[in-house]
C-alpha cells in the first residue's frame, strides 16, 4: 500500500529564515566583554576563541546571505555589535554603522526581511568597566545607543529585537557564572534582571520616537521545566518557581509593566508595557527534581527516552515548542520563533529535529495562534560561546581554518520547506524518515 501523502501548508507571507549574532559570526571583535572573557584560561571549551569567526566583518556575509536566499529564506535575524558602533562612550563609529547598513540592504536586495537584534550577550568593555547592567545608568545608555542605530538603519529595518534572552544573560552571567562577568550572586542577578527589563522598555520608547512604525520586541529563551515526579509536591513547586523566574519574568515585564516578586508582582512603569511582538527561542525541555543537597535545590535531566543531541544536553522534545507558543499567546502580541536548532556536527538528528519542530509550529498556526515565522539557529556553524567551536548548530558546516562552508543535508531539507512554504511528507520521507511517525502517526510504520 503506498504511503499517504500530507502537505502541511503555512500562511502566505510566513517568515522563514535563520538567526545569527554579531560576536558569533563577525570575527575580529576585540572591544567587548566576550573577547576579554575568551582570553581567560578555562572559560571556553578547548581554549577556543571567536577569532575570525565566520569572517562576516570581512565581507563573507555576502556569500552567506546568497546561500540563505538561494535556499528560499525570506528573513534573517542578525545582531549589531555595540562595541563597534560606540567604541568609547564619547565616540560613534560611522564606518561601522555604514557596514551594518550595507548588510541590511544586502538582505533586502536578496528578498529577505531583516530582523535586527540590538543586544546579543556582548557589552562594550567601557560599559563593563562602569558596572555593566548592575549600573542604574545602563538602561539609559543602551537607549542612546539604540536610537543611534535605528536612525542609521531605519530606511531598511522596521522589525527590532531589543535584547536577546535577557534571562540567559542573567542566569549564566550572574547565577551560574559561565558567561561574563562570571558572578554567582542571586541578589545581583535580580538587580541585573530589573535593569535589563528597564533597558528593554527604554529602548522600546527610543525606537518608537525615531521610527513610529517600528515593530519592537524582545526574545526569551523558553525552557519548559517539568516536575520529574509529578506526584511529588516539591518537584512541582520547584518546576513552577523556576519556570516563573526563568521563562515569565521578562515577558511579563515587557507585556504588562509588572515586575514579578517572590510572591505576586508589582506595577513598574519603567518596565512597560513595551511590546509589539514576542520572540520565542526554543531548544529543549527539561525535567527538574527537588534535591536538598544542591545549591539550587535542583537536579535536571532530559525526559526519558527522548533522543539526545551530540553532546547529550538537548533532548528532542518538539511538543515543548507548541507549549511555548501557547504560553507566549498570553502576552497578546504576534509571535516569531526567533531561534530553534540543535548542535549536531554530523547532521544525525537535525533533519528530524527540524521537521518535528516545524510540524509543531504548523499545529500552532492551525489554532490561529499568531505565529508569524520560524528562524532556525543557525545558517553556518558559529562561535558557540562557552562551548567554543565544539558545538555545531549550522545548516552549513564551517571549516574554521579555511573558512570553507560545507552543506549539511539539513540545508536542502530546510530549503525545500522554505521554498514551498510547506512541510511535505514526501520531502520528509527523503530527508528525515524518522520524523514520519510524528507527522502520520501509526501510518508510517505500516
Ligand atoms: C543564543 C545563541 C546560541 C544558541 C545555541 C541561544 O541561547 O541566543 O546565541 O548560540 O542559544 O546555544
* CATH number of the domain within which 37 lies: 3.20.20.80
C-alpha cell at 56: 562576516
For 169, half-sphere exposure in the C-beta direction (CA atoms, 13 angstrom radius) is: 24
* Start-end of H helices in 367-444: 409-420, 425-431, 436-439
Asked if the structure places residue 282 within a domain, the reply is yes
- The response to whether residue 282 sits with its C-beta less than 6 Å from ligand 1 reads no
Asked if the structure places residue 292 within a domain, the reply is yes
Q: How far is the CA of 310 from the centre of ligand 1 (A)?
A: 16
pLDDT band (50, 70, 90) for residue 294: confident
Asked if the structure places residue 162 within a domain, the reply is yes
- Number of domains comprising the chain: 1
Q: How far is the CA of 15 from the centre of ligand 1 (A)?
A: 20
Count the Cβ atoms, other than its own, within 10 Å of residue 348. 14
Cα torsion angle, 317, 321, 324, 329, sign: negative
Q: How many residues does the chain have?
A: 446
pLDDT band (50, 70, 90) for residue 80: very high
Q: Tell me the chain's radius of gyration from C-alpha atoms.
A: 21
Distances (CA, A) of 420 to 19, 107, 416: 20, 20, 6
pLDDT band (50, 70, 90) for residue 62: very high
Show the domain range for 285.
Answer: 9-404
Q: How far is CA 129 from the centre of its chain?
A: 27
Asked if the structure places residue 430 within a domain, the reply is no
Residue from 2, 13, 25, 5 nearest 381 by CA: 25
Tens digits of per-residue pLDDT, 150-177? Answer: 999 999 999 999 999 999 999 999 999 9
> Has residue 445 got a pLDDT over 60?
no
CA distance 160 to 140: 18
Asked if the structure places residue 412 within a domain, the reply is no
Please give the pLDDT value at position 443: 79
> Does 38 or 442 have the greater pLDDT score?
38
- The response to whether residue 165 sits with its C-beta less than 6 Å from ligand 1 reads yes
Distances (CA, A) of 26 to 59, 85, 89, 90: 9, 14, 22, 24
- The response to whether residue 21 sits with its C-beta less than 6 Å from ligand 1 reads yes
Tens digits of per-residue pLDDT, 193-226? Answer: 999 999 999 999 999 999 999 999 999 999 999 9
> Does 446 or 102 have the greater pLDDT score?
102
Tens digits of per-residue pLDDT, 337-390? Answer: 999 999 999 999 999 999 999 999 999 999 999 999 999 999 999 999 999 999
* SS3 call for 280: strand
Residue from 150, 182, 155, 159 nearest 169 by CA: 182
Read off the pLDDT of each residue in 135-151 and give the average, rounded to a whole number. Answer: 98
- The response to whether residue 116 sits with its C-beta less than 6 Å from ligand 1 reads no
- The response to whether residue 171 sits with its C-beta less than 6 Å from ligand 1 reads no
Q: How far is CA 6 from the centre of its chain?
A: 30
Amino acid at each position: 500500500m503506498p504511503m499517504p501523502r500530507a502537505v502541511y501548508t503555512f500562511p502566505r507571507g510566513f517568515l522563514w529564515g535563520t538567526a545569527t549574532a554579531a560576536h558569533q559570526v563577525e570575527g575580529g571583535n576585540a572591544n567587548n566583554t566576550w573577547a576579554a572573557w575568551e582570553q581567560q584560561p578555562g572559560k571556553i571549551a578547548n581554549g577556543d576563541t571567536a577569532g575570525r569567526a565566520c569572517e562576516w566583518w570581512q565581507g563573507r556575509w555576502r556569500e552567506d546571505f546568497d546561500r540563505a536566499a538561494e535556499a528560499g529564506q525570506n528573513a534573517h535575524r542578525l545582531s549589531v555589535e555595540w562595541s563597534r558602533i560606540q567604541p568609547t562612550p564619547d565616540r560613534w563609529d560611522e564606518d561601522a554603522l555604514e557596514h551594518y547598513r550595507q548588510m541590511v540592504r544586502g538582505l533586502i536586495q536578496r528578498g529577505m526581511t531583516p530582523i535586527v537584534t540590538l543586544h546579543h550577550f556582548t557589552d562594550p568593555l567601557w560599559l563593563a568597566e562602569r558596572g555593566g547592567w548592575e549600573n542604574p545608568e545602563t538602561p539609559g545608555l543602551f537607549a542612546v545607543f539604540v536610537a543611534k542605530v535605528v536612525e542609521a538603519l531605519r530606511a531598511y529595518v522596521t522589525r527590532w529585537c531589543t535584547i536577546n534572552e535577557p534571562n540567559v544573560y542573567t542566569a549564566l552571567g550572574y547565577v551560574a557564572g559561565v558567561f561574563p562577568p562570571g558572578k554567582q550572586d542571586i541578589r545581583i542577578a535580580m538587580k541585573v534582571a530589573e535593569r535589563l527589563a528597564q533597558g528593554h522598555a527604554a529602548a522600546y520608547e527610543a525606537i518608537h520616537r525615531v521610527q513610529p512604525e517600528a515593530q519592537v520586541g524582545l526574545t526569551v529563551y523558553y525552557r519548559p521545566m517539568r516536575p520529574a515526579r509529578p506526584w511529588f509536591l516539591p518537584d512541582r513547586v520547584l518546576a513552577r518557581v523556576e519556570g516563573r523566574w526563568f521563562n515569565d519574568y521578562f515577558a511579563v515585564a515587557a507585556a504588562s509593566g509588572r515586575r514579578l516578586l517572590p510572591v505576586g508582582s508589582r506595577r513598574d512603569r519603567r518596565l512597560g508595557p513595551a511590546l509589539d511582538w514576542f520572540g520565542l527561542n526554543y531548544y529543549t525541555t527539561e525535567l527538574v527534581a527537588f534535591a536538598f543537597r544542591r545549591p539550587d535545590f535542583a537536579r535536571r535531566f532530559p525526559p526519558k527516552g527522548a533522543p539526545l543531541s551530540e553532546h547529550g544536553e538537548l533532548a528532542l522534545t518538539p511538543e515543548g515548542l507548541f507549549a511555548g507558543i501557547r504560553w507566549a499567546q498570553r502576552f497578546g502580541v504576534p509571535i516569531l520563533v526567533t531561534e530553534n536548532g540543535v548542535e549536531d556536527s554530523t547532521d544525525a538528528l537535525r533533519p528530524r529535529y527540524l521537521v518535528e519542530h516545524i510540524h509543531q509550529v504548523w499545529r500552532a498556526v492551525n489554532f490561529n495562534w499568531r505565529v508569524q515565522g520560524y528562524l532556525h539557529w543557525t545558517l553556518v556553524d558559529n562561535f558557540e560561546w562557552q562551548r567554543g567551536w565544539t558545538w555545531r548548530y549550522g545548516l552549513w558546516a564551517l571549516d574554521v581554518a579555511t573558512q570553507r562552508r560545507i552543506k549539511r543535508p539539513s540545508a536542502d531539507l530546510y530549503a525545500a520547506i522554505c521554498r514551498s512554504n510547506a512541510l511535505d511528507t514526501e520531502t520528509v520521507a527523503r530527508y528525515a524518515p524518522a520524523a514520519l511517525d510524528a507527522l502520520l502517526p501509526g501510518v508510517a510504520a505500516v
